[in-house]
Amino acid sequence: MVNWTARPAPPGGVPGGGVPRRHAGLWQLAVSTLDGNWEHDHTVPSRTLYPHQWSWDSAFIAIGWAHVRPDHAWQELTSLFRAQWLDGRVPHIVFNPVVPGGAYFPGPGFWASATVEGTPRVATSGLVQPPVHALAAWHAYRRAPSADGRAALRRLYPRLVAQQHYLATRRDVGGAGLASIVHPWESGLDNSPAWDAPLAAVPAEAAVLRAYRRRDTVHAAAAHRPTDLDYARYIAIVTAYRAAGYRDDGLADRHPFLVECPLFNAAMGAAEHALAEIAGEIGADPGPHRERAARITTAVVDRLHDPTTGTFHPRDLRSGRLTPARTVLGLAPLILPDLPARQVEAVLVEATSARFGLAAGMERPLPSHDRTAADFEPLRYWRGPSWMNINWLVRHGLLAHGQTRLAAGLRASMIGLAETAGCHEYFHPDTGAGLGSPAFGWTAALLLDVLAE
């Protein structure tokens, strides 16, 4: 049984009883950031860079809303799952029809979801993101238990189950019980060095981009974002998937990017644990979820753990090999409460090494990539900077394995980061300077969550 902490939501944006007075300003900043990004039935990650609804952002954001406006938490998840495709996939972007098509690239016209059967009325992308939604729904509920919350869980449950079913069946390209991602965007860690090896095999030239205009570099420094060559490959991979109507049959024979990601699959396993809890709460049978969770954990260990490095690595299905980079993705399986002790130990060795610097007293949170690596880039997006959502996940993994001192160290460093730079999208891993969007949804939401504990 997972020991998630329960805490009733404090009313109307006022810090709860457990939040010390010295954090009242931070709490208000987080609430006003979320309020500023709220958009009728969802929260945009950022008004400038990401003016639509993103899948795993909404999950993290719902956890934050549960502390201050629980109805928003349920609306957030409900609006996202309203855009679920008939095959069960939850699209990684749900486009807001009132936002001009050119505000984000690639926009709704590029994805052309309306031309595909079984898609919702609203325009969406055709990719997915890490399935952290069941976990988020359960966390949100435990923080604000209510009859309305239970009714929302009841409505969400079959959709969450369908999301898992899609991933466990159509995306099990390797046939070993894990889901494959078909694009780096599906990992959520878009330009992580973890994808360098599989991406290098994707034919694309920066010239591909001439037909399009990137919008991200209008709002953020180009040196802090993926490169043009990265984008050319991102576009080439979507184009291949789109040309096949976003179908998943035959992916092994035709698709240029197929990877089993440790974070994505750990999220899929953690989702089954959360679904077991949700099932228990709404009178459904938790048994099948527990069984599936155990199978996923076994497959994550068998397929993605490298006893030589001690950490987890993505498996590239094209080459059959584990990708060599030691990124923060390798620590993510800690969120599996049934991860065997041997792997927990090995991951803790990795996390507490100079590569990531986890400690009971740590100045800055975990970086997204190995600090000692030659390709560590402290300013460039997922190639070094610290991100609140990954730190939040690892912290919960630490708690699930009884590592309370390390979890406390991580929590203090996360709060310190927000004290230094506010609710930025990501942060310089050494100085803590804010990078990317200055008013970012999941940073605000997860800040509320750690402040409330």
| Size of residue set near ligand 2M8 by CB under 6 A | 10
Contact (CB, 8 A) for 330 and 312: yes
Q: Is 56 in the site for ligand 2M8 (CB under 6 A)?
A: yes
> Closest approach of Cβ 103 to ligand 2M8, in Å?
12
Query: Residue 140: which of 281, 289, 8 has the closest Cα?
Result: 8
Element spanning 281, H or E? helix 262-282
Taking the C-alpha atoms of residue 237 and residue 156, their distance in angstroms, rounded to an integer, is 31
> Closest approach of Cβ 247 to ligand 2M8, in Å?
21
Query: Residue 105: which of 228, 260, 259 has the closest Cα?
Result: 228
The dihedral region occupied by 370, where left means phi > 0, alpha psi between -120 and 50, and beta the remainder, is: beta
In the bound state with ligand 2M8, the residue whose beta carbon lies nearer, of 41 and 453, is 41
Stretch that binds ligand 2M8, among 29-37, 51-59, 205-213, 240-248 (CB under 6 A): 51-59
> Closest approach of Cβ 422 to ligand 2M8, in Å?
17
> Closest approach of Cβ 443 to ligand 2M8, in Å?
10
Q: Is 333 in the site for ligand 2M8 (CB under 6 A)?
A: no
Q: Contacts with ligand 2M8 in 142-171 (CB under 6 A)?
A: none
> Closest approach of Cβ 216 to ligand 2M8, in Å?
6
Stretch that binds ligand 2M8, among 71-79, 185-193, 347-355, 409-417 (CB under 6 A): 185-193
Query: Residue 179: which of 113, 131, 235 has the closest Cα?
Result: 131
Among 38, 50, 257, 427, indicate the residue that binds ligand 2M8 (CB under 6 A). Answer: 50
In the bound state with ligand 2M8, the residue whose beta carbon lies nearer, of 92 and 289, is 92
Type of residue found at 425: E
Q: Is 141 in the site for ligand 2M8 (CB under 6 A)?
A: no
**3 state DSSP class of 434:** strand
> At CA 267, angle to CA 265 and CA 270, rounded to 5?
115
Taking the C-alpha atoms of residue 93 and residue 108, their distance in angstroms, rounded to an integer, is 9
Contact (CB, 8 A) for 335 and 130: no
In the bound state with ligand 2M8, the residue whose beta carbon lies nearer, of 67 and 92, is 92
Cα 423 to Cα 42, 266, 269, 412, 445: the distances in Å are 18, 26, 29, 15, 9
> Closest approach of Cβ 81 to ligand 2M8, in Å?
17
Contact (CB, 8 A) for 289 and 297: no
Q: Is 57 in the site for ligand 2M8 (CB under 6 A)?
A: yes
In the bound state with ligand 2M8, the residue whose beta carbon lies nearer, of 4 and 54, is 54
Q: Is 185 in the site for ligand 2M8 (CB under 6 A)?
A: yes
Catalytic residues: 190, 425
> Closest approach of Cβ 46 to ligand 2M8, in Å?
7
Q: Provide the CA 131 distance to its chain's centre, in angstroms.
A: 7
In the bound state with ligand 2M8, the residue whose beta carbon lies nearer, of 376 and 426, is 426
In the bound state with ligand 2M8, the residue whose beta carbon lies nearer, of 58 and 343, is 58
Among 45, 126, 367, 422, indicate the residue that binds ligand 2M8 (CB under 6 A). Answer: 45
Contact (CB, 8 A) for 150 and 283: no
Q: Is 54 in the site for ligand 2M8 (CB under 6 A)?
A: yes
**3 state DSSP class of 426:** strand
Query: Residue 323: which of 346, 306, 302 has the closest Cα?
Result: 306
Q: Is 230 in the site for ligand 2M8 (CB under 6 A)?
A: no
Stretch that binds ligand 2M8, among 54-62, 149-157, 176-184, 391-399 (CB under 6 A): 54-62
DSSP letter for each residue of 28-86:
HHHHHHHHHHEETTEE-SBTTTB-SEEHHHHHHHHHHHHHH-HHHHHHHHHHHHHT--T
Site string for ligand 2M8, 188-227 (x = CB under 6 A): x-x-------------------------x-----------
Question: Residue numbers of the site for ligand 2M8 (CB under 6 A)?
Answer: 45, 50, 54, 56-57, 92, 185, 188, 190, 216
